[in-house]
Amino acid sequence: MVASDGIPLLKPKDVESTNEGEKEETLLDRVGSRIRTSASSIWDRKFLLLVLIAAFLNALRGLFSKLVLIDLDPILAGFVDLVTVVVCCIPANVYYRSKLTTSPKMAGVLFLTGSLRGVTTILVMVAFKNIDAGDAEAIISSRPVIVGALAWIILSERMALLDIIAGLFALMGVVLLAKPTILFDLTVAYNQKTLIGSLSAIGVAFMIAMTGVLRRVLSLTEIDKNVSLMYINLVGAGLCGVACAVLGEWQWPAEIENQIYLIALGVVGYGHGILTIIALSKEKTYHVFMIKSSTFLMLYVLQYIFLGVTPDLPGIIGSMGIIMSTVLVAKSKSDSDTSEGTK
C-alpha cells in the first residue's frame, strides 16, 4: 500500500531492507516520530509554565511571610504554614483513595526529607531575625548551584555549559536584587549575631538543596505525590511544634487580617509544593531550581505593587540577569531533549 507521496504506509513482511541493519521508513514511522516530537515540545512548555507558577506561588509566600512576621513569632508562623499544607493534602488523598503506606526504605527517605523541611523552616527564621533580609536572600540564593552539585554526585544528573552560565546569571541577579549589606554597605559591623545569621542562611541553602534532591528521588517512586507532600510537611510541622513548645511561642495573631495572611501562607505553600514535586518527576533537579530562582524577581515585583518598594538600577539589572538565566535553562533543556531524541 502506497501513499500519494510515494511513501509506503505499511511495509510488507516479505520486503527486505536495501541496506543491511537498516529498516525502510514508513509513513507511520514518520507520523509516530512527529507525534513524539510534538509531545516533547508540549511538555517543554508545560514544564516551564509549571515551574513559573510554582515560583510565583513561592513569591506570594514571601510576601505573606513579610506581612505575617510583623507581629508573629517566626517559628510559630512556620508551624502553622506546615500544618495548613498537611490539611490541604487530606481531601485529595481521601478523594483519590491514595495509598498511605510504603516500604521502610522510602519511609526513611520521607522522614529525612520532612526533618530537613522542619529544620530549614526554623533556620530561615533565625537567619532573617539576625541579619538583613537582603543578606539572607543572597546567601540562600546559592542553592541552585548546590542543587546542581548534589544532583551530579547523588543522581548523576550532568550539567551542560549553558546550565553553569545560567547559574552564574541567576546568582548575580539575586545578589543585585537582594543588595546584601555584605557587599553594598561596608560600614556594617560584624558580630556574633551576624555570624549566627550568616551560618543559618548557609545551612538553609544546603538543606533546601538536599531536600530538592530527595524530593526528586521521591517523585520517581510509586509514592503518590500528594501523600509524599503530606508526610514531608507533617514531619516538619512536628519539629516546629516541638520548637514552639520549648520556646513557649503559641501567641496567635490578634488581627483577623494577619490570621488570613497566615492561613493563605499555607494554602499557597500547598500549591507551590505539589507543582514542584510534579516538575521534579519530569525534569532534572537543577533545571527546576534554576527556573524557580525567578521567585526573587516575582517577589521584587510584588513588593513594588503591594509594599511600595521602588525599583533601582541594581534591581533592574538583577531582574535582567534572572530572566537571562531562565532563557538559558530553557535553551539547555531544549538542546538536551534534541540530543536525546537523535540517539
pTM check: above 0.75: yes
What pLDDT, on a 0 to 100 scale, did the predictor assign at position 341?
Answer: 58
Residue 2 has φ and ψ, to the nearest 5°, of -130, 135
Instruction: State mean pLDDT over 209-215.
Output: 93
HSE, side-chain direction, 13 A CA sphere, residue 174: 26
* 178/157 Cα distance (integer angstroms): 29
- Average pLDDT over the chain, rounded to whole? 80
- The alpha carbon of 87 is separated from its chain's Cα centroid by a whole number of angstroms, namely 21
DSSP 24-92: PPPHHHHHHHHHHHHHHHHHHHHHHHHHHHHHHHHHHHHHHHHHHTTSS-HHHHHHHHHHHHHHHHHHH
Cβ neighbourhood burial of 8 (10 Å; 0-12, 13-18, 19+) = middle
Cβ neighbourhood burial of 20 (10 Å; 0-12, 13-18, 19+) = exposed
Q: At what angle do helices 133-140 and 192-219 cross, to 10 degrees?
A: 40
For residue 343, name the pLDDT band (cuts at 50, 70, 90).
Answer: low
When mean pLDDT is compared over 15-19, 90-94, 194-198, the highest value belongs to: 90-94
* 305/75 Cα distance (integer angstroms): 27
Instruction: State mean pLDDT over 83-87.
Output: 96
Instruction: State mean pLDDT over 193-220.
Output: 88
Q: Which of 54, 74, 55, 206 is nearest to 139 (CA)?
A: 206
Question: What totals of helices (H) and strands (E) does the chain contain, helices first?
Answer: 13, 0
More confident residue, 236 or 293: 236
* 65/128 Cα distance (integer angstroms): 11
Range with lowest mean pLDDT among 100-114, 157-171, 265-279:
157-171
Range with lowest mean pLDDT among 31-45, 68-82, 171-185, 192-206:
31-45
**C-alpha grid cell, residue 218:** 521521591
Q: At what angle do helices 27-68 and 313-341 cross, to 10 degrees?
A: 150
What pLDDT, on a 0 to 100 scale, did the predictor assign at position 133?
Answer: 66
DSSP 243-295: HHHHHT-----SSHHHHHHHHHHHHHHHHHHHHHHHHHHHS-HHHHHHHTTHH
What pLDDT, on a 0 to 100 scale, did the predictor assign at position 332?
Answer: 82
When mean pLDDT is compared over 34-43, 70-79, 265-274, 309-318, the highest value belongs to: 265-274
What pLDDT, on a 0 to 100 scale, did the predictor assign at position 213?
Answer: 93
* 258/275 Cα distance (integer angstroms): 26
What pLDDT, on a 0 to 100 scale, did the predictor assign at position 175?
Answer: 79
Check pLDDT > 50 for residue 36.
Answer: no
Q: Which of 235, 200, 253 is nearest to 86 (CA)?
A: 235
What pLDDT, on a 0 to 100 scale, did the predictor assign at position 321?
Answer: 86
User: 270 and 89 in contact (C-beta within 8 Å)?
Assistant: yes
3-state DSSP assignment of residue 18: coil
What pLDDT, on a 0 to 100 scale, did the predictor assign at position 91?
Answer: 95
What pLDDT, on a 0 to 100 scale, did the predictor assign at position 342?
Answer: 59
User: 233 and 276 in contact (C-beta within 8 Å)?
Assistant: no
